[in-house]
């Protein structure tokens, strides 16, 4: 019998050790993805041959005045609410999981991961208006209810969180100040691979740090933003960025904002050659949404499963349309179901915009939010019909 209990004890210790290694690896992966930065570029193509010795002095002076240091902290109350929400979500996924919670068993501290301890961190932000609006990454401030901004001149000012968009990893803050130095916007659509760019931020809490590199690629979809409905169109650069650069500015050789530094590709958690930024044109659009609606923007979808229409599908289903998306199934309690859309319908347009295939539908739905009402045109039994669809929060 003693041997039996020794065996059980050894098994339990081994399980805990394995869990600890898994947790440690998960923590490192999280850091490598979230405490990074990216770049973006401008409409000026600068090369050594055209300028001789490169000079980024004026661009650096302009950009550093508009980039701030951010300290974000979570209160005890918010930390407890987060833990309770995580437990509820876990129980919904696993109804029996609530009977044995490793975090509760170890007092909320498993191999150094205290799920009750308030989180804190630092990052960067960019002043986008002279009256105190600042854009940064959601992962820098999304968890926090206390945010302190340090300006380039050393002034420390508490900030208010205006709103966030987790799907793009962006957030907007506001400080009560005026006559601030704001960044000038560039056009990220015009940037070209090979252009020189500067990354401006506060890596490792080293304030007002500037590094230079070139645009390495555009339109990167890295699948690193958490969530079911995310928007990724990263600009890739080789300007050195590190933890603390997140939320800082990627500017062109004139100092114009072309991106918000967001992520790094790294096996170690620090810069390893490439970084990624959210393009300024996307940033501008999301900032406008946050300013207009406030709070956290929730992206959503119709809740449908579709096929593109081709010759074989037309013949099989006796369809009289050449383009559109055929609805094969509908999620329960989705926006489509509540609006009265049914399997077998064919969506041909939304809000007057033609839907030729699934790619068109994905592109159109990309920026749609909970509460938006869409005018969806369908073909049902070869007859056209218009249905208003109110987008709902995902279940």
Active site residues per annotation: 139, 169, 246
Query: Could you tell me the two tokens for 145?
Result: 């209810």
Contact 278, 191 (CB under 8 A): no
Q: What is the DSSP letter of 119?
A: P
Q: Which residues pair with 31 in a beta bridge?
A: none
Containing 112, the helix (H) or strand (E) segment is none
Residues 6+ apart with CB under 8 A from 394: 228, 229, 300, 301, 303
User: How many CB atoms sit inside 10 A of residue 219's CB?
Assistant: 10
Contact 130, 179 (CB under 8 A): yes
Nearest by Cα to 225 from 200, 251, 260:
260
82 torsion bin: left (phi>0), alpha (psi -120 to 50), beta (else): alpha
Nearest by Cα to 302 from 276, 272, 333, 278:
333
| Share in percent of the chain as helix, strand, coil (round to 5) | 30, 30, 40
Question: What is the rounded CA–CA span in Å between residue 255 and residue 362?
Answer: 34
Nearest by Cα to 125 from 247, 6, 11:
247
Contact 241, 249 (CB under 8 A): no
Contact 199, 244 (CB under 8 A): no
CA 391 vs. chain centroid, Å, equals 21
Question: What is the rounded CA–CA span in Å between residue 125 and residue 136?
Answer: 5
Question: What is the rounded CA–CA span in Å between residue 212 and residue 199?
Answer: 6
Question: What is the rounded CA–CA span in Å between residue 108 and residue 87?
Answer: 12
């Amino acid at each position: 019998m003693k041997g039996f209990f020794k065996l059980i004890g050894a098994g339990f210790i081994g399980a805990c050790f394995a869990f600890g290694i898994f947790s440690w690896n998960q923590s490192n992966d999280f850091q490598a993805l979230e405490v990074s930065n990216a770049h973006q570029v401008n409409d000026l193509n600068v090369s050594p041959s055209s300028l001789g010795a490169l000079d980024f002095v004026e661009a650096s002076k302009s950009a550093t005045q508009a980039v701030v240091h951010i300290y974000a902290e979570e209160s005890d109350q918010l930390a407890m609410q987060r833990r309770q929400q995580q437990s509820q979500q876990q129980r919904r996924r696993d109804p029996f999981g609530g009977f044995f919670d490793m975090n509760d068993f170890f007092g909320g501290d498993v191999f150094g991961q205290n799920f009750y301890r308030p989180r804190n961190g630092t990052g960067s932000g960019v002043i986008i208006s002279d009256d105190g609006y600042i854009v940064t990454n959601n992962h820098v401030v999304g968890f926090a209810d206390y945010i302190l901004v340090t300006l380039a001149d050393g002034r420390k000012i508490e900030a208010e969180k205006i709103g966030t968009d987790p799907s793009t990893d962006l957030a907007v803050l506001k400080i009560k100040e005026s006559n601030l130095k704001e960044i000038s916007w560039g056009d990220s659509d015009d940037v070209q691979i090979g252009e020189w760019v500067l990354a401006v931020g506060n890596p490792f809490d080293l304030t007002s740090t500037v590094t230079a590199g070139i645009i390495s690629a555009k339109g990167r979809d890295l699948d690193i933003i958490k969530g079911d409905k995310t928007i990724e169109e990263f600009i890739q650069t080789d300007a050195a960025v590190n933890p603390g650069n997140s939320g800082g500015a990627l500017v062109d050789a004139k100092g114009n904002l072309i991106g918000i530094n967001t992520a790094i590709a790294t096996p170690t958690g620090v810069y390893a050659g490439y970084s990624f930024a959210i393009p300024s044109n996307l940033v501008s659009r999301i900032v406008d949404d946050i300013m207009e609606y406030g709070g956290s923007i929730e992206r959503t979808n119709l809740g449908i499963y579709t096929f593109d229409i081709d010759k074989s599908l037309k013949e099989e289903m006796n369809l009289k349309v050449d383009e559109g998306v055929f609805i094969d199934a509908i999620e329960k309690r989705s926006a489509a179901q509540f609006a009265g859309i049914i399997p077998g319908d064919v969506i041909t347009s939304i809000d007057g915009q033609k839907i030729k295939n699934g790619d068109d539908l994905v592109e159109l739905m990309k920026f749609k939010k909970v509460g938006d009402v869409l005018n969806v045109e369908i073909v049902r039994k070869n007859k056209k019909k218009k249905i208003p669809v109110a987008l709902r929060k995902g279940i």
